[in-house]
Structure 1
């Protein structure tokens, strides 16, 4: 298992994470999944679910396996269980007992990441980051009951606001090749409707590209939800691209976005852990999402670098995908941030070494004018 830094939190997390949403079977089944994940090296778990069954299943499994101290847990504030139903709220009369219940069922005195739960509209963001609710979050943080403050959202405009908020250190965000085509929306259902197929033809939205650049610059870590688009990307009939991707290809796509540290994968059986962890030993061909998308009947990635690495090897030793990534990030700003300039220079062989042989362009599945991009990068960064 490979591990990545989660922004500026100081935490090292496994690039494959555990989304606990489907742990609603027996306690024995939950224990088997936690043990399988722990043995595979997975060390980050998201628990947004407020219902007692799934919370107890996970919490008891962690306690019985003795693994709590090895896990980074994302625990959500604002996800409550009322009259047998999930209710998202900022009402502290409901929020406080729900969070205390989470701690109790997980047999712990703290959450590594205290997540401001599910904020998708500007009004919700204002409510969640000001007033009594945020005061409670700050109180928990000051006491060490939550070690770091995070926020979950599906809306890139809200995610950008969070990335600019110095109190919020990371975000849980929905990332997959289909959602990256979709314009910002306050309604999650929009991502799964008819607009998805049209968006697949329109190209990555500026909000998404700008968000990834901003998170890289501010050190705001990203953990990923909905990396498989609810399984729709595995079925050509349901995929907005008209082709099927594999779990490994979806993981590769998410993990090559700037600032992404880990993808939360939903497990409902131990074998699902093995299926996800197979990413760690997958071949470049098995990870290759680019060839699939390039041959899709509906896609809009032509001319856009997706950092897939097909351009390699460069005879001059340029890491073309990384140069393109830093160039794309830098062009989001009026002036190149010093941090990006240093990341670029640390590559060693920079874009100025390009001899415009165009060998890379013949391998690029999306028809990117790589030689021109190298020249632009050399000019922008000055080397």
Structure 2
């Protein structure tokens, strides 16, 4: 296993971290973890050098932390850095933070959390965290020895990310969504470099975009096949991240032993600036090919929002494009259904959006196309 410096902290973290949100389950029920198999996987990872284990309150219907606690018995807790997260959306007052942290310590069967994150911050959750003075509370818990390092995970736009980083000069680390397709999404590459410049360790989530980059369409696979060094698409995605000096640890949510073993082997050969110029060009070609497979040239600028009738136009287009780019129709159809009244079929053809679209897209026609695609019998 390769190890990397974690921001300004004087600790070495394994290049690969185990994210416990996609553990093997029974009967396709996400809340029913196959405990025996999951514990074997977690311990195998630790035995093979992985020393960063990441979980959270809501993962697997609240059961991920419980399984993590069981897996880290018998001496495994002492071999790992354990990360979990405060469920920010459930916090209404200061007392709630103590309630959830104490419950998490029980579930995890430990007296302290190494890396404690304010979970899934966006503009609204961040405002609430400031309101309940979460950072002063976290500093107190640090003094009490219940947590060692304070961080946050993030899902919003870059300006919000920078605001959060700049607000508090004692952040130890952050966690962002980042992969070769998402260099300009959420915090993105700009956020990665900014956080690192401030001395924060940067934990990467969704390195394979929820598995979407692991099984590419033929047009993309043909590009990977031109490389001199042969790697699986998943390995290319991981190596691209490990190539960057600002990345501290890459989390992978692994569901099978096969995935776990492949990623551990890949991590062994990882390193900063190890990809050649030609290999980085291949990754760029893959990114461009995926974009070519995207039917609607929406840039997500949001000039069309808000829609007078509540349609989430950029999100509809994003789901439609992703279904074509990554061959994920069923998964994207479910996400589409979850939009409720914000679905494409709620469009009343008022035309307000088309008058402000800088790309001059025929939005009404595209929304009809999206609705027909996802709502076909």
Query: TM class by shorter-chain length?
Result: 0.5 to 0.7
Q: 2:289 aligns with which of 291, 297, 300?
A: 297
Partner in structure 2 of residue 61 of structure 1:
71
Aligned length: 268
Q: CA deviation at 1:163?
A: 3.0
Partner in structure 1 of residue 150 of structure 2:
149
TM-score by length of 2: 0.63
Q: CA deviation at 1:63?
A: 0.8
Q: CA deviation at 1:31?
A: 1.7
TM-score by length of 1: 0.62
Query: Deviations 1:76-123 (Å, cap 9, x if unpaired)?
Result: 1126xxxxxxx65454454432221211121111101111111022x3
Q: CA deviation at 1:238?
A: 11
Root mean square deviation, CA, Å: 3.1
Q: Summarize the alignment of residues 200-349 of structure 1 with structure 2, pairs less than 5 Å apart.
A: 208-237=188-217, 246-282=233-269, 288=279, 290-294=281-285, 296-298=288-290
Distance of 2:215 and 2:260 partners within structure 1 = 20
Partner in structure 2 of residue 120 of structure 1:
122
Q: CA deviation at 1:274?
A: 0.5
Q: CA deviation at 1:290?
A: 3.5
Distance of 1:240 and 1:162 partners within structure 2 = 37
Partner in structure 2 of residue 107 of structure 1:
109
Q: 1:78 aligns with which of 87, 91, 99?
A: 87
Distance of 2:136 and 2:218 partners within structure 1 = 43
Partner in structure 2 of residue 18 of structure 1:
18
Question: In the superposition, relative to structure 1, how do residues 146 and 212 fare at CA in structure 2: closer, same or farther (>3 Å)?
Answer: same
Distance of 1:90 and 1:237 partners within structure 2 = 45
Query: Deviations 1:238-278 (Å, cap 9, x if unpaired)?
Result: 99999777111111122233421111111223332201112
Question: In the superposition, relative to structure 1, how do residues 21 and 49 fare at CA in structure 2: closer, same or farther (>3 Å)?
Answer: farther
Is residue 36 of structure 1 aligned with residue 44 of structure 2?
yes
Question: In the superposition, relative to structure 1, how do residues 63 and 242 fare at CA in structure 2: closer, same or farther (>3 Å)?
Answer: same
Q: Summarize the alignment of residues 152-191 of structure 1 with structure 2, pairs less than 5 Å apart.
A: 152-155=153-156, 156-164=158-166, 165-182=168-185, 184=186
Look up the SS of the partner of 1:233 in the other structure: coil
Distance of 2:177 and 2:66 partners within structure 1 = 26
Partner in structure 1 of residue 100 of structure 2:
98
**Any gaps of 5 or more consecutive residues in structure 2?**
26-32, 225-231, 293-377
Distance of 2:189 and 2:235 partners within structure 1 = 22
Contact in 2 for aligned 1:78/1:90 (Cα 8 Å): no
Distance of 1:136 and 1:43 partners within structure 2 = 27
Contact in 2 for aligned 1:232/1:238 (Cα 8 Å): no
Is residue 7 of structure 1 aligned with residue 7 of structure 2?
yes
Question: In the superposition, relative to structure 1, how do residues 12 and 159 fare at CA in structure 2: closer, same or farther (>3 Å)?
Answer: farther
Contact in 2 for aligned 1:212/1:258 (Cα 8 Å): no
Distance of 1:60 and 1:238 partners within structure 2 = 42
Partner in structure 1 of residue 55 of structure 2:
47
| Greater displacement, 90-99 / 18-27 | 90-99
Partner in structure 1 of residue 312 of structure 2:
none
Question: In the superposition, relative to structure 1, how do residues 175 and 285 fare at CA in structure 2: closer, same or farther (>3 Å)?
Answer: closer
